[in-house]
A and B are shown apart, each in its own frame.
Chain A
Amino acid sequence: MLLEFRNIKKMYGSMTVLEIENISIDKGECIGLVGNNGAGKTTAFSLMLDLIRATEGQVLTKGHDVSVDETWKKYTSAFIDETFLVDFLTPNEYFDFVGGLNQWSKADTDEFLKQFEVFFSGEIIGARKYIRDLSKGNQKKVGIIASLIGNPEIVVLDEPFASLDPTSQIRLKKIITDRLDMHTFLISSHDLTHVAEVSSRIIILEKGKVVMDNLKTEDTVKKMTEYFAV
């Protein structure tokens, strides 16, 4: 078992925003986390990354509580929002920074980035701009690719498809499916088709509770569409 949410509960005041009895995730799975706004997707990720305190329960990676033991940081990587970017660096400097944190040399990082040249469509590598001056879409691309640096076992992406142009969305799907043997992905999305295409297992959250947890089948998209068509 790589990752486990165990009796986890997050409350703000008297309001429960997330309540998960148990989710267990094995190595090699690609989890699609789907839900409407306020369903608790980002809260679940933040708990997993020890960014917020769980009111009850634990998140375990490889059997260790993330809020106690820091070793998960060695094999986990995430891109949730712009707080994961360093906005006064150029994209190259940022990649190099993240690479350095993973004990990669600059050459290692540069070599790794070559495979994403198409995804970056020439606007990112070598850009004479700070990240804060990039477009939202390009910032997102920088964050997503940086989260793959160091070949982490677990990659957490919050809404990776949002604010990407259609071509980039398709390219991102290819990047994810090509790397399924390298990482265990957790991806949240509003976009049912995209998430269904890349995921091997779909979890639907609603108002903080798991309402569906299925392996992907032929008619997953159809089922999800029915569920959300209220």
Chain B
Amino acid sequence: MSWKSFMRSPAFTQNLATTIMMAFLGLYFGVSFIALGAASPHAITEMMPDVDGPIYFGRYFLYFTIYTFLTRLIFQNFGFKDLKQYILQKIPKSTLLHYILTKSAFNWINVMSLLGVIAYLISASFAEGYDMNLLNHGLALVGLIYASNYKAFLFDKQLSINKVATGSIIIVVILVNYLDYKGFIPLGDILEFIYSFLVLNIGTALLPLLGAISAYFLSYKTLSQIAYLEDTKTSETSISDVNIGSGLFARFGKAGKLMEMEVKLILRNKRARNMLYIVPFMGIYPLIIHGQGDQMGSMGWMMFVAIFCTGGYALTYGQLLLSWNSEHFDLLQTKMTSIKEIFQAKYFLQCILIICQTLPMLLWGFYKTEYFYLMPAMMFYNLGVVLFLYMLSASYNSKRVDTNKGAAMNYEGFSLALFLIIIPIMAIPVLIFYGANAFDHPFLGVFLIALIGLIGFVFHDKLINISVALFKKNRYKIGAAFRNK
């Protein structure tokens, strides 16, 4: 079924390009995980001759399990869509639920982890001075992957069981990790202890697997009690009419009306909302980069960091500029007095997002002084260049988006145009900066980039007109693609 809908979609060629990209990404991650797993035994004995290698690996595998568990909690998507499709067919409900639960065993995280673990086990069995009971370790590692997979099911947001529980788990884990990082809690030692207990003998090694199986059946039981069509709705319980900042948006006239609607779109649709959760993590990029040592602290790198820090949300949201409205695009096309108003609304809203995001980022200036001017400079680059590149690419990115699906691993709405547009977005600052840097004027580079951005921002009306003209040429094609479910 899904194969047919894929083959028969008019955006087939675009889908194909996306699929090929995804296949490459998959291949890349697969190879990375295999390499990581295979290299571990050797690397550990080489670099840490004093530690018990297999246990040391287990310690970090448990860290990994915790992080993937968090990722699952936030992003794992229970296959309700499949359920909706088949629930009226002559397939017993139990089969459906088993199908959904089994299918999750083959999701990205699991497959990648499994590849890594298998490579690790094979490599470990050949490694000299790396003594471990392959069976015990193998069972424990695989068991951990699946225990985490099915435990996460119990917290699935769409089932809205334990929303509070999910939230508190995430907070607790982050807190514990922070305390561990600061050295207040010896989390690593605790994890090491747990792992060495798990691989004591075959009985304890089976524990994670047993955990996985019990979680599987517990999920099954919970699901079978609630798997009715009405449960598949994603409606929130407390709904009221909202006027979000209508005072602010009122100044933009009709475009303001659209902006207000867009804000609701962001807040009320799962995929756009998920993106909101990701942005705060973009804000801590500087910490990650500078934690890596000095070569990452160069001006060039900091510039990239500043692009993401100031434009994170607008960048992720702007990629699908018009696709967000694919479900009600005919209304916009016929009701907005001109197409230009749609583009204006989108542009101003993203400007507000970028500026709001930039302000707190200036605080990084106290950490590294360069950020005081890098952040505003890249803000202008985002406002004057990046936004327009996305507005131009919107005319070629005609794919429908189901706004209510999750954001992670969701490439719906992505097309070749979007992958291509990333090249100039990244290449422009690189060329200018390294061009200026070659003459020992890195500041001039940053200044020029900001200046180009500023010029774009000042002439935004002209640039919007260009985007609109391009859109008008392609409007029938885009409209047709948006109507295609």
CB distance from A79 to the nearest CB of B (A): 9
Inter-chain contact A100/B254, CB cutoff 8 Å? yes
Interface residues of A in 73-97 (CB under 8 A from B): 73-74, 76-78, 80-90, 92-93, 97
CB distance from A58 to the nearest CB of B (A): 15
Inter-chain contact B476/A53, CB cutoff 8 Å? yes
Closest to B256 in A: A100
Q: How far is the CA of A129 from the CA of B268 in the complex (A)?
A: 12
CB distance from A185 to the nearest CB of B (A): 16
Inter-chain contact A78/B336, CB cutoff 8 Å? no
Interface segment out of the listed B37-45, B239-247, B275-283, B380-388: B239-247
Q: How far is the CA of A100 from the CA of B339 in the complex (A)?
A: 16
Interface segment out of the listed A20-28, A44-52, A115-123, A204-212: A44-52
Known: A86-B261, A90-B241, A133-B235. A52 touches B334 (CB 8 A): no
Inter-chain contact B334/A88, CB cutoff 8 Å? no
Q: How far is the CA of A27 from the CA of B323 in the complex (A)?
A: 36
Known: A83-B483, A87-B327, A103-B254. A130 touches B235 (CB 8 A): yes
Inter-chain contact A70/B331, CB cutoff 8 Å? no
Inter-chain contact A83/B239, CB cutoff 8 Å? no
Chain B residue numbers with a CB within 8 Å of A80 are 330
Q: How far is the CA of A132 from the CA of B333 in the complex (A)?
A: 20
Inter-chain contact B261/A130, CB cutoff 8 Å? no
Q: How far is the CA of A73 from the CA of B336 in the complex (A)?
A: 7
Q: Select B337's contact among A70, A83, A98, A129, beta carbons within 8 Å.
A: A70
CB of B71 within 8 A of chain A?
no
State the main secondary structure of chain B at its contact with A.
helix
Interface residues of B in 163-180 (CB under 8 A from A): none
Closest to B337 in A: A73
Known: A53-B476, A90-B241. A83 touches B336 (CB 8 A): no
Inter-chain contact B254/A51, CB cutoff 8 Å? no
Q: Contact mask B218-246 → A, CB, 8 Å, 1/0?
A: 00000000000000010100111110000
Q: How many residues of A contact B (CB 8 A)?
A: 34
Chain A residue numbers with a CB within 8 Å of B268 are 88, 130
Inter-chain contact B328/A87, CB cutoff 8 Å? yes
Chain B residue numbers with a CB within 8 Å of A170 are none
Closest to A100 in B: B257
Chain B residue numbers with a CB within 8 Å of A89 are 261, 264
Chain B CB count within 10 A is highest, among A73, A88, A129, for: A88
Chain B CB count within 10 A is highest, among A74, A80, A132, for: A132
Chain A CB count within 10 A is highest, among B258, B261, B338, for: B261
CB of A11 within 8 A of chain B?
no
Q: Contact mask B337-352 → A, CB, 8 Å, 1/0?
A: 1110000000000000
Q: How far is the CA of A76 from the CA of B261 in the complex (A)?
A: 22
Inter-chain contact A86/B233, CB cutoff 8 Å? no
CB of B335 within 8 A of chain A?
yes
CB distance from A18 to the nearest CB of B (A): 15
Inter-chain contact A83/B327, CB cutoff 8 Å? yes
Chain B residue numbers with a CB within 8 Å of A85 are 328, 331
Closest to B244 in A: A93
Q: How far is the CA of A93 from the CA of B261 in the complex (A)?
A: 9
CB of B364 within 8 A of chain A?
no
Q: Select B338's contact among A49, A70, A83, A90, beta carbons within 8 Å.
A: A70
Q: How far is the CA of A100 from the CA of B329 in the complex (A)?
A: 17
CB of A128 within 8 A of chain B?
yes
Inter-chain contact B241/A88, CB cutoff 8 Å? no
Extra A-B contacts (18), CB below 8 Å, given A49-B334, A88-B268: A51-B333, A51-B334, A52-B479, A70-B338, A73-B334, A73-B337, A73-B338, A86-B328, A87-B327, A88-B269, A90-B239, A93-B264, A98-B335, A101-B257, A103-B254, A128-B238, A129-B235, A132-B235
Q: B residues within 8 Å of A by Cβ?
A: 233, 235, 238-242, 254, 256-258, 260-261, 264-265, 268-269, 327-331, 333-339, 403, 476, 479-480, 482-483
Q: Closest 6 interchain pairs by CB?
A: A100-B257, A83-B330, A53-B476, A88-B268, A84-B331, A86-B328
Q: 11 A-B pairs, CB-CB below 8 angstroms?
A: A49-B330, A51-B330, A51-B333, A73-B334, A76-B334, A84-B328, A86-B331, A101-B335, A101-B337, A128-B240, A130-B268
